[in-house]
Amino acid sequence: MTPLESFQLIHRAIQVNRKTKPLRIAINGIEGTGKTTFAEHLVDYFNSVGESALHVSIDGFHFNKERRYRHGRDSAIGYYEDSYDEKGFVEKVLLASQKEIPTITSATHDLETDEYLDLDPIQIPNNTILVTDGSYLFKPTYRNHWDLKIYLSTDFETALERGAKRDAQSLGGFDAAKEKFMQRYHASSKRYIQENTPKKIADIILNNTDFSNLIVEKSIYS
């Protein structure tokens, strides 16, 4: 299946889920899977076929460094438990988008400056499709607030190579990035998978080990 065909599959799925308030789509998968790229291209596709879609990044809802690194910069527990303001995201995006006048807040934290933000909510149309990618979006805090849950399935070895190449410059080189992934990010992902069994929770599972040939491993809509 080409990426375009996977977007068309998702488009058909949201037709089943149409409602009077914005639809909320989660793109989940381990670090280095390709979630952000997939989410951005999915939003582009939706907008190209006449939908009104927005990419709402979970990266705008980090805690500050003091909170994120209180267990150490390489701590898997710290990454799993302290990286994101999960309740803030649920309140300011997933719940706010379902109110009588739907709104979202785009971010509560700036990663570059490490400062917390106090942005005004943005009103959005009732027919908006919100797409969010993240590694832990099926945790109980978020789980019941999604209208469509998509899991990108990639083995850890492939994701490690992708993630280390992507983050090599910011993490001190390719080898240092690989070590960071193994110790912090992927160790955290393994705990997430064990505790949450995301493949059981997902409505759609797409294996994107090969970006040009995605495989549908599960779809409750086909």
pLDDT digit string, tens, across residues 86-107: 999 999 999 999 999 999 999 9
Give dist(CA 188, CA 181) in Å, integer.
9
Strands of the chain (E only): list them: 23-28, 52-55, 103-104, 109-110, 115-116, 122-123, 128-134, 148-153, 204-207, 215-219
What percent of the chain stands above pLDDT 70? 100
Amino acid at 63: F
d(CA 175, CA 208): 24
Query: Is residue 56 pLDDT above 80, yes or no?
Result: yes
**Phi, psi at residue 82, to the nearest 5°?**
-120, 5
Per-residue pLDDT tens over the stretch 5-44: 999 999 999 998 889 999 999 999 999 999 999 999 999 9
Mean pLDDT, the chain, whole residue set: 95
pLDDT at 16: 87
**pLDDT at position 47 over 90:** yes
pLDDT in tens, 132-191: 999 999 999 999 999 999 999 999 999 999 999 998 988 899 989 899 899 999 999 999
pLDDT at 17 (0 to 100):
83
Q: Does residue 222 carry a pLDDT above 90?
A: no
Percentage helix, strand, coil for the chain under 3-state DSSP, each rounded to 5: 45, 20, 35
| pLDDT recorded at residue 18 | 87
Output the CA–CA distances (angstroms, integers) from residue 17 to 12, 37, 93, 102, 150, in the order listed.
9, 24, 18, 18, 14
Distances (CA, A) of 51 to 22, 23, 96: 11, 11, 20
Q: Mean pLDDT, to the nearest integer, of 193-203?
A: 97
